[in-house]
């Protein structure tokens, strides 16, 4: 009888592992909390940047290899205790690094301040299903905090929804080397360099954000390296919607706690190829293991993790 393997997460890393394992004759089941497979490929990257039909085609290829998808299933401790840990010979955690880095400043509790992935997921669901938008930038003043790819995705999405204005706060200097964004908008018209948010102001005591207070940032070099200094030159900008896009800290704790897995950053990082965990038959790969990274690394890690699982089962 073929060995059974469960993969938690259907993003690029999980799919890459599934293809290797299924092609080698293993019985693979993939668990996904959303209603469609693909993970970040489906709901973390806008439709205008990645056609979702291509993601579904990849999932179909895996299904043709015998991979089973169990959707709309958020794996919890109870699920693990009752089924997965006991029924599968090995489990691969490929949940990504979904724990968003937050900004801790006055007014963070106000409404209409969202993490970037909340916004991107909502917009993609709207485009695919026709469901009403829960977060709509149409006619609103939008401020995005962050300067990376996810922040750019928020900018492009807000523009496509018909935002009244879009401003992006980028803490890095303008002359820092960076790749061109994948969209048509002019970064220099939208992005404010060496700027950071220092306070959110509410709308006349109603509990929703109305303005963002910003500060200028300088990078000062001394004998201890480069450090950030604030100028206390506070400015204000109107903001009906704010999106926090300043990176990710790692996998959600509940994904690890469900399997009693403890990450050791001295061995689970981008510079190693350790896919085992403190639990004998539980493996981990991709952004969940190495931290926020590129999709090409996630795919490579999925393939290597699959081989590590095969060695274990053999």
Q: Which of 21-30, 47-56, 111-120, 268-277 has the lowest mean pLDDT?
A: 268-277
178 lies in the same domain as 50: no
3-state secondary structure of 96: coil
Indicate whether 114 and 174 sit together in one domain. Answer: yes
CA dist 299 and 14 (Å) reads 8
The least confident of 136-140, 158-162, 232-236, 237-241 is: 232-236
The mean per-residue pLDDT over the stretch 18-36 comes to 97
In terms of C-beta density within 10 A (0-12 exposed, 13-18 middle, 19 or more buried), how is residue 180 classed? Answer: exposed
CATH number reported for the structural domain that contains residue 87 in this entry:
3.50.50.60
Average pLDDT, the chain: 92
Residue 186: its pLDDT value, please? Answer: 85
| 68 φ/ψ sector (left φ>0, alpha ψ -120 to 50, else beta) | beta
Same domain for 113 and 13: no
Residues 150 and 227 in one domain: yes
* Per-residue pLDDT at 109: 96
Over 80: is that where the pLDDT of 91 sits?
yes
Percentage of the chain modeled with pLDDT above 90:
75
**Same structural domain for residues 153 and 228?**
yes
- Is residue 1 predicted with pLDDT exceeding 60? no
Q: For residues 202-218, b (16+ Cβ closer than 10 Å) or e, as one string?
A: beeeeebbbbbbbbbbe
Are 271 and 241 in a shared domain? no
Same domain? 92 vs 108: no
Q: Are residues 56 and 181 in the same domain?
A: no
pLDDT band at 80; cut points 50, 70, 90:
confident
* Cβ 6 vs Cβ 29: under 8 Å: yes
Domain end position, chosen among 246, 267, 299: 246
Q: Are residues 232 and 159 in the same domain?
A: yes
Claim to verify: residue 134 and residue 218 sit in the same structural domain: yes
| Beta strands, E only, the chain | 4-8, 27-31, 68-70, 90-93, 99-100, 113-115, 141-145, 165-170, 191-193, 195-202, 209-222, 225-230, 235-238, 241-244, 248-250, 282-284
Cβ(68)–Cβ(76) under 8 Å? Answer: no
Report the pLDDT value the prediction gives residue 227, as an integer from 0 to 100. 67
What is the four-CA torsion angle of 282, 286, 287, 293, rounded to 10 degrees? 160
Q: How confident is the model at residue 188 (pLDDT cuts 50, 70, 90)?
A: confident
48-57, 181-190, 269-278, 301-310: the lowest-pLDDT one? 181-190
| pLDDT for the residue 129 | 95
| pTM, two decimal places | 0.91
Residues 240 and 155 in one domain: yes
pLDDT higher than 90, residue 218: no
pLDDT on residue 37:
98
Q: Which of 206, 231, 246 is the last residue of a domain?
A: 246
Residues 6 or more apart whose Cβ sits within 8 Å of residue 116: 100, 144, 146, 150, 151, 153, 154, 243, 244, 245
Domain enclosing residue 298, as ranges: 4-98+249-313
Listed residues 217, 246, 275: the one ending a domain? 246
Helices (H), 142-269: 149-160, 187-190, 253-257
Where residue 249 falls (left for φ over 0; alpha for ψ -120 to 50; beta otherwise) is: alpha
User: What value does the mean pLDDT take over residues 72-93?
Assistant: 90
Q: What pLDDT shows up at residue 263?
A: 87
Pair 190, 280 in one domain? no
Domain count along the chain: 2
């Amino acid at each position: 009888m073929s060995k059974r393997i469960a993969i938690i997460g259907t993003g690029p890393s999980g799919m890459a592992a599934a293809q290797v394992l299924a092609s080698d004759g293993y019985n693979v089941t993939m668990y996904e909390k959303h209603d469609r497979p693909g993970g970040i490929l489906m709901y973390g990257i806008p439709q205008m940047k990645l056609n979702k039909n291509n993601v579904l085609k990849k999932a179909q290829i895996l299904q043709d290899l015998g991979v089973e998808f169990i959707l709309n299933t958020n794996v919890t401790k109870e699920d693990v205790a009752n089924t997965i840990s006991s029924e599968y010979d090995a489990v691969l955690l490929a949940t990504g690094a979904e724990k968003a880095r937050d900004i801790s400043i006055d007014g963070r509790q106000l409404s209409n301040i969202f993490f970037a992935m909340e916004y991107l997921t909502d917009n993609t669901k709207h485009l695919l299903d026709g469901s009403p938008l829960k977060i709509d930038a149409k006619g609103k003043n939008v401020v995005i905090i962050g300067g990376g790819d996810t922040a750019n995705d928020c900018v492009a999405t807000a523009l496509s929804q018909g935002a009244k204005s879009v401003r992006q706060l980028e803490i890095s200097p303008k002359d820092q080397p960076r790749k061109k964004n994948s969209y048509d908008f002019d970064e220099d018209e939208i992005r404010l360099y060496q700027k950071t948010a220092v306070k959110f102001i509410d709308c006349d005591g109603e509990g929703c954000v109305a303005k963002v207070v910003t500060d200028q940032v300088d990078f000062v070099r001394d004998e201890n390296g480069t450090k950030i200094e604030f100028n206390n030159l506070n400015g204000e900008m109107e903001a009906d919607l704010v999106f926090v896009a300043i990176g990710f800290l790692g996998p959600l704790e509940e994904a690890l706690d469900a399997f009693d897995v403890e990450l050791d950053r001295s061995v689970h990082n981008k510079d190693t190829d350790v896919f085992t965990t403190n639990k004998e038959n539980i493996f981990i790969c991709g952004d969940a293991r190495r931290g926020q990274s590129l999709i090409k690394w996630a795919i490579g890690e999925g393939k290597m993790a699959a081989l590590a699982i095969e060695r274990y089962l053999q």
